[in-house]
Structure 1
Amino acid sequence: MLALGNTTLTKKEYHEGTYRLMEEHRFFTGYAKELLKDGKIKNMKKLSKKKEALELESPEITEKAGTTKGMQTLLRLTSQNHIQLSEIADSKANILISVNAIIISVILSVLLRKLQTDPYLGIPTAVFLLSSVVTIIIAILATRPKVTMGTFEDDDVVNKKTNLLFFGNFHRVSQDKYERAMRQMMKDSDYLYSSIVQDIYHLGSVLGKKYKLIRLAYNVFMIGIVVSVIAFAVAVMINSGPPPETVTTNTSGSPF
């Protein structure tokens, strides 16, 4: 932001205004044209490059735009939606963990005993057990938290390089240091809203990884169930024939 008298301009507005001024400017004497024309062209090229660079950058969130209710509502709803989606993902992962834990306990307590009398159930049981264990591992990976160092330096706040809204950046910092940094951030609306946007972005990144793992866990669970049922059915069909007849041999010599 640039202050010009009582008017506040952004860098983009300032460079655009300066460029228009130089475009409209004319030299009236031959001496001025000969002496200053080349310098004017060079300066206009520099301004043009600065304009292009500013257009490629992300638009600034001005104090006027950032304090509107629409902007605040947008950021608040987006953040709430991300948090709700994260809770849904955790709930789905917990369901998978609970169901497969019950399945494993049943397998260990019931089916393993059956293997002593029905050894042909070994392969289906192993497939069922393996799919449940893999599903639990993937679900745990989806819900396992990742904690960063939890510290920041004063220069990071001055240079706007740290996000004070994420606990992973300050959980090992003293309360006084964090309060000072927060007060400094709240004085700078651009830094404040930039931190909110960064927080939403990181929430989305975590959600993307979490939902990919949960989808993988559900796929493994589904495929494991199907393969296990088929394996059990095949094993039972193969071994469900009539029991072999026992042939007794009469060694007494009697016809009866």
Structure 2
Amino acid sequence: MSDTTNGFPLDGDDAAPGLPAVAAPRTSTSRMIADALRDAIVSGALAPNAPLRQDAIARHFSVSAIPVREALRQLASEGWAKIEVNKGASVAPLSADEAREIYEIRSALESLALGLAIPNHTAQSLREVRALATAAKRERDPSLYVARNEAFHMALYAPCGRPQLLEMLASLHRRGERYLRLKFDFPEYKGESDAEHAEILAAVKRGDIAAAQALAAAHLLGTGELLYRFLTERAAAKTVTEKPRAKSSRSRS
């Protein structure tokens, strides 16, 4: 993305283009700062491994260092940031292992939610799910696609009657947003994914719980494996390109 940065973009006087300002208080200052930083990480405005400088963040939000430290601790506990002694905080890197694990967990939990939801779906709820699937299929903007994709999946499970399960799934979707955006590097895969959505919905409409669960599990596990391979290969390619540079540096010393 063109607005991605390798450093925290708040060293100047201007506001960061990809980072929203804090709105009116909803819970606490630290929570609102954490929400804003999380949104910037998800959108790509803050790149993996970008430093999260407390002083720059405090200036941007016109707050003291205390709520910033609390926000960074919260992000670190959720896996969005890492805090290292004598180095400070930075955006957590993209991880092939994490991407695959998120989709493995989603596969298990969403299969459960789907099985519980199918008997409770109505003609109206199924029309809403179909409309969301169509909107996701037509979407080409990565940010909007992520939101529409999540809306489709969550609408499938909404009638399950398990609020804690739905809360867990919403959290997993949030954790996976950075990775889901990578699907746009595979245009052909998005088409396959949209087709799989249609197959899952067809099974739900038939009331075929076993088929719907199998299709959903295969859909999610396949996405996880695709992202795992992509990130693993990208890391390997980066290592190869950096080796000559390291040798060249040693020859000049």
TM-score, with structure 1 as normaliser:
0.27
The structure, 1 or 2, with the larger RCO (C-alpha pairs under 8 Å, 6+ apart) is 1
Larger Rg: 1
